[in-house]
Chain A
Amino acid sequence: MLTLRALLAGWRAELAAAAEYRGDLVVGTLVSAVWLALAVIPAVIVFTHVNIASGWTLERLLLVQAVWYLMDGVLWIVMQPNLWALGEQVRSGDLDFYLLQPGSALARTTLTRIRPGDLPKAAFAVALAVFAIVRGVDVDAAGIAFGLVAVGCAVVLMWAIAVLSHLPAITAVQFEASFAMHAAHNLARIPVSFYGRLVSTILTFVVPVAFLSTIPAEIFFGASGVRELAGAVGVAAGAIAVTAAVWKRQVSRYTGATA
């Protein structure tokens, strides 16, 4: 609770500071709109030539991309500002500051900062989802409720992947594995079934990319159900446990730069 209160206070302060630079919000909105357009253009171009691709309609594919774009928002709004700073915090010793504070050091280190200029990404993702549903994706109340839970799990999973890919920076100077984060994130741009049976299986059960966008979107329109939702919750819980364990191990090897 203490950590949550501290995070919320920090986010409020970031928003208040951002309000001083309204021009940035305008620029952020324009850039987010352009990037959303660039994200959906490949799918739109594909469907100017075909009606169905690998069993998917354009509307359902757009719903997947809406969930994917929300994950993009999570990366840019929350993860990048915190994790880009991690390596520098290690080198300068500022990480000590977070480790000595009460509450969860993992949450404080990875969630303290936000980049308000990218908040429009989240709004555009929701708008795209609504557009896809209105255009022709059949959803019911249960599907929406379960789908929202699955999206919440996807956000947790995205956080875990981002954190895990940056934690090597605590013990290895100048090393980070953000390429793994970008790979997982970008592979989730399209439904995993497009990758063929073998890769699709790997992206579901080995590296759970499917839980970032495909399965949450499928739960919305009923192609996946309670079993997949339980899987999403399990994957999210497992991701938190693994991230916490790796964080603990990395911090135990951290020597501090200010000693």
Chain B
Amino acid sequence: MTAPSLPRIYGALVRGELIATSGYRANLIVSIVGWVIPFVMLALWRGAAEDGAIEGVTAGQFTSYFALILLTTTLSFSAHLIYGFTPLVHEGRLADYLVRPYHPFHNLIAGGAARVAFRAPVAAVFCIGVITILGGALGGWRNAVIAIPVWIIGALTSGYLGALAGSLALWVTKAYAVQSLVIGTEGLLGGLYAPIALLPGWLEVVARHTPFWFQIGAPAELMAGMIGPGDGLQVIAEGVVWLVVLHVVFRTVWRRGVTQYELVGG
């Protein structure tokens, strides 16, 4: 008997997770109301830009940018990977997953996808509503087309980073402290608090070349017309390089980390 292919595994896992998650769909959908940080930043930056554009970014672009940040951060599930994997290690449940014919992270990715499936439509409605009501400015259709592969590559790199941060639990008992810093860094370098072009010089350079930005800020900047299609293509090229590097790093970390794992419990 041969092992099932990855698409078949994913099909089954996502179906199962969708059914399980649908039991809490009301709570999940309503919970998006709690994710207000993009709106807070929108208010802050629009307030700052009321006397004119800041470094060329208009109030309309800030509106679109942070409305799209609401969407890109909702679609992100690196935190789900981090906080989903850590208890598996600390409570000893990882053992169950290690004997299955697929990587333990596939389960978590399927779970994250199921959550996103319920939350994303609500976030999209909020996003469109804010852009329409507050008069957001958008880039052209070319920007929108390029934003999609940028986001996909960003999601993959962000997923690897989440898996790496989650894997810390294989070595460290109190991994949450370090992991929360990864989440915080993701917010800052990803562009959650400000478009990275407005960060101080060196921080902008660092942020522009990190995978955090590829998933959160880069697609939003493209859609809002703050960067052009050419910049988007450069992000795609860099993202592919990061993807390869992170894949190799994760394989190494996982191989070593899983040997550290000691079953906890009975």
Q: Which residues of A contact B (CB under 8 A)?
A: 24, 27-28, 30-31, 34-35, 38, 41-43, 45-46, 48-50, 53-54, 56, 174-183, 186-187, 189-190, 194-196
Contacts and interface: CB of A to CB of B under 8 A. Distances in A.
A49 B200 contact: no
Contact of B198 (A45, A178, A179, A180): A45
26 contacts: A28-B177, A31-B180, A31-B181, A35-B184, A41-B188, A43-B44, A45-B194, A46-B48, A49-B54, A49-B198, A50-B54, A53-B47, A53-B48, A174-B24, A175-B27, A179-B30, A179-B31, A179-B33, A179-B34, A179-B35, A180-B34, A182-B35, A183-B33, A183-B34, A186-B37, A187-B40
Interface residues of B, number: 35
A50 B193 contact: no
Contact of A38 (B48, B54, B187): B187
B40 to A, nearest CB: 5
A157 B158 CA distance: 37
Contacts of A41: 188, 193
Given A41-B188, A177-B30, A190-B44, 8 more contacts: A31-B181, A34-B184, A50-B48, A178-B34, A181-B34, A183-B35, A195-B43, A196-B43
B200 A48 contact: yes
A204 B63 CA distance: 23
Interface in B62-110: none
A42 B181 contact: no
Nearest to B28: A179
A93 to B, nearest CB: 22
A180 B27 CA distance: 11
Nearest to B198: A45
Interface of B: 24, 27, 30-37, 39-41, 43-48, 50-51, 54-55, 174, 177, 180-181, 184, 187-188, 193-194, 198-200
A69 to B, nearest CB: 14
Contact of A49 (B37, B55, B181): B55
B174 A189 contact: no
B235 to A, nearest CB: 22
Given A42-B194, A45-B199, A49-B54, A182 B34 contact: yes
Nearest to B181: A34
Contacts of B35: 179, 182-183
Given A24-B174, A41-B188, A190 B193 contact: no
A174 B51 CA distance: 47
